[in-house]
Amino acid sequence: MSQAGADVVLGARRAGRLAEVADMVEANHREAVTIETDVTDPADCEAMITAGMKQFGRIDVLINNAGIGTAVPALRERPEEFRAVVDVNLMGAYWMSQAAARVMRPGSSIVNIASVLGLVKSYAPQAAYAASKAGLIGLTRDLSQQWAGRRGIRVNAVAPGYFATELTASVPADQLGAFITQTATLGRMGSSTNSTPQSCSWPVTRHPT
């Protein structure tokens, strides 16, 4: 977002990674504010938005991109494992969206990073991840109809396929490679020219006026 001219508020649980991304933002001659944030805690979400408002006076864009996943057979997945994924991927997006929408002006935008696995089957047992991303797509649809007319806030989701991230790095390469070859149109994993660490979540951005 800083490459597009936005000042950025960055929130994540790992302070070290936040600092890395802040350096990248500042290298683009934009301002970065960092705040340790656990998106499963509504109070943390409110604190992050408050920090953005204090520094910039407005929030124009929220990108909900915090995510975790598991690959556990459904009959062996423990309740706490399933809940942890849903808590971050779905509930976290909801708490952040609530906090941001309370202060956003008409014309603002919320973008939820869903997944193709919210729409199609996976090669691996990923019930929690697939359910959370399908839920995020449903949440996006509902918030869009609630806030578009009443508040002038656009809410959209994107559903990327497999990209090289910390999440996919934990999957055995041969298994993931075989699945991508069979299902991806280009037969390969997606890549990005932006080296921003994928673990640094929830950039809330402000476009300068």
Q: What is the pLDDT of residues 167-193, one digit of tens each?
A: 555 565 666 666 666 666 666 666 665
The answer as to whether 165 is a domain residue is no
Helices (H) and strands (E) counted in the chain, each on its own, are 7, 6
Angstrom distances, CA of residue 34 to CA of 53, 97, 152, 159: 13, 18, 27, 26
Give the catalytic positions in this structure.
129
- Going by C-alpha positions, the residue among 156, 159, 82 that lies closest to residue 117 is 159
Decide if 167 is inside a domain: no
Q: Which of 152, 159, 197 is nearest to 15 (CA)?
A: 197
Structural domain contains residue 174 = no
pLDDT, residue 198, reads: 34
Number of Cβ within a 10 Å radius of residue 100:
26
Q: Residue 80: inside a domain, yes or no?
A: yes
Question: Domain count of the chain?
Answer: 1
Helix (H) or strand (E) holding 63: strand 61-64
Which parts of the chain have pLDDT scores under 50?
A: 194-209
Q: What letter would DSSP give residue 118? A: G
Residue 112 has a pLDDT of 97
At 16 the pLDDT is 80
Angle at 19 between CA 13 and CA 21, to 5 degrees: 95
pLDDT of residue 124: 76
Query: Domain for residue 180, yes or no?
Result: no
Pairing, β 204-206 against β 61-64: antiparallel
Residue 41 within a domain: yes
How far is the C-alpha of 134 from the C-alpha of 121, rounded, in Å?
Answer: 11
CB count in 10 Å sphere of residue 193: 4
Residue 61 included in any domain: yes
CATH code of the domain in which 150 resides: 3.40.50.720
Please say whether the beta carbons of 176 and 162 come within 8 A: yes
Range of the domain at 198: 2-160+194-204
Q: Is residue 144 part of a domain?
A: yes
Q: How confident is the model at residue 203, as a pLDDT?
A: 39
